[in-house]
Amino acid sequence: MIALLLILVPLLSGIAAFFLKKENAAKGWALLSSFATVTVSILGLTILNKTELLQFKCSWLPGLGSSFSIQLDGMGQILCLLTAISFPLIFIATWQRSYKNAHNFFALMLLSQAGLMGVFLAMDALLFYFFWELALIPVYFLSSIWGAERRIAATFKFFIYTFVGSLLMLVGLIYLQSLTPDRSFDIKAFYSIAIDSKTQNWIFWLMFIAFAIKIPVFPFHSWQPDAYEQSPTAVTMVLSGIMVKMGLFAVIRWLLPVLPSASYAYGEEMISMWVIVGMIYASLLAWRQDDMKRLIAYSSIAHLGLMVVAIFSESEIGMQGVMLQMFNHGINILGLWVVVEILERKYGTRKLSELGGLAQKAPAMAILFVVVALANIALPLTNAFVGEFMMFTGIFTSPVSAYEMITVPAAGLTIIIGAVYTLRMVQKVIYGNTNALTETGTDIGYNEKLVLGIIVILILIVGVYPQPFLDLTKETTDFILDKAILPSLKK
């Protein structure tokens, strides 16, 4: 029931929001719905965490071998919690924004949340694909209708990339279903398929390219900076805080355990040729940006790339680090986007060269922004430090990779570059002298203090005591690795 409610609450609320014509009514309804989803998620983690309440299955498309099968395991719990927490924070942080036809805007936001929940819950491949598209389609409309001046071009590029990726994934899923003994899309049937290495190889590329586009991984990343820059900031928060986790999640859930031989054969190649190069490339581009949206977009590519490297290391500590870091990255980057939203609304600019001296005018924002920025560079005692330390440890002790002496220093270089451009961003925005634009600035409002305060509290709590998250994901990690690691590599 908990699993089903995580989908039904935002889905039904989103449909109802289409009929709320007044903007304040639509805003309030969306916020109320998001609080209800948070409540359901927390109940599923605490007093209602019994197995029978965390799963649901019924007949859906029996003729196609597909059922409506959903379940909350440890990884799903973490990502559903991230999705649940993020939406009320987004709505509160952007409360002062006014949207034309606001009821449609908030309805589409809630439908996107329902789709995201479904992706993280689905235990049937066709259902997974259905929710994958349900999460994406509202974003197309949100970006193309309420985006910035170049929104049509950016949204079209986003559409082409994701459409091609979705088509490739669908072909792969249908072929895998044809290999199951009972022609089933059930995840257990997928995990039990015996596929020869040659067949695994071409299916692997169909699936991985689809997931790599969504993460995004170099060279499939070029849609991302434009989409982030041109989308409304609330939509950008959803894209970068939650939606990119769909790709990482899919690699762990639907790629490694189903195609273990191909994952082993190509994992090192992707690490050396694509991901590490892409991380360094994105970090250097972030260093050169003046627009904060594009800077954060390229920074996100580098951080997500490290998670991909850790996933293909196929080590227990590295995989747990990824699961923890997916939550951490979502929280941290959401904090950065909240600051961007504040600056853009108050000063009409996102350019570092046009800001400065805000510590004098907005001390509360300055303090909270500095903490979020330090978390973004994985300072000890912040949440990202735990995740990145575990991922680096996993990469270095990997049972799969033979290139630790290359991948670890190269990935470490991106951490150093990340510290440089993040601290430069803080220096340009917060410190120095005020100018004609920032001289009349004021501190942030109560709603913005609340959102940033909650984010900072989460950063510190997970940074100091991450054990509950690690306990939550251990069983899922062990199960995935048992399926993913080839017998010859198991100790």
Q: Give pLDDT tens digits for 190-231.
A: 998 888 888 888 999 999 999 999 888 877 888 888 888 888
In the block, residue with structure tokens 């409360």: 95
Angle in degrees, 0-180, between the axes of helices 151-179 and 223-230, rounded to the nearest 10: 130
**Position 405 in a domain:** yes
Whether the Cβ atoms of residue 430 and residue 280 lie closer than 8 Å to each other: no
Q: Please tell me the total count of domains within the chain.
A: 1
Confidence (pLDDT) at 152: 87
> Who's near 355: CB < 8 A, 6+ residues apart?
343, 347, 349, 428, 429, 435, 437, 438
**Position 299 in a domain:** yes
**295, HSE (Cβ side, Cα atoms, 13 Å):** 25
Instruction: Quickly state the pLDDT bin for 80 (edges 50, 70, 90).
Output: very high
Q: What is the mean pLDDT of the chain?
A: 89
**Position 436 in a domain:** yes
**Position 449 in a domain:** yes
**Position 124 in a domain:** no
Other beta carbons within 10 angstroms of residue 427's beta carbon come to 12
Query: What residues make up the domain containing 472?
Result: 287-491
Whether the Cβ atoms of residue 37 and residue 84 lie closer than 8 Å to each other: yes
**Position 255 in a domain:** no
Confidence (pLDDT) at 395: 83
Pairwise CA distance, residues 229 & 420, whole Å? 22
pTM above 0.85, yes or no: yes
Whether the Cβ atoms of residue 412 and residue 392 lie closer than 8 Å to each other: yes
Confidence (pLDDT) at 278: 85
**Position 387 in a domain:** yes
**Position 345 in a domain:** yes
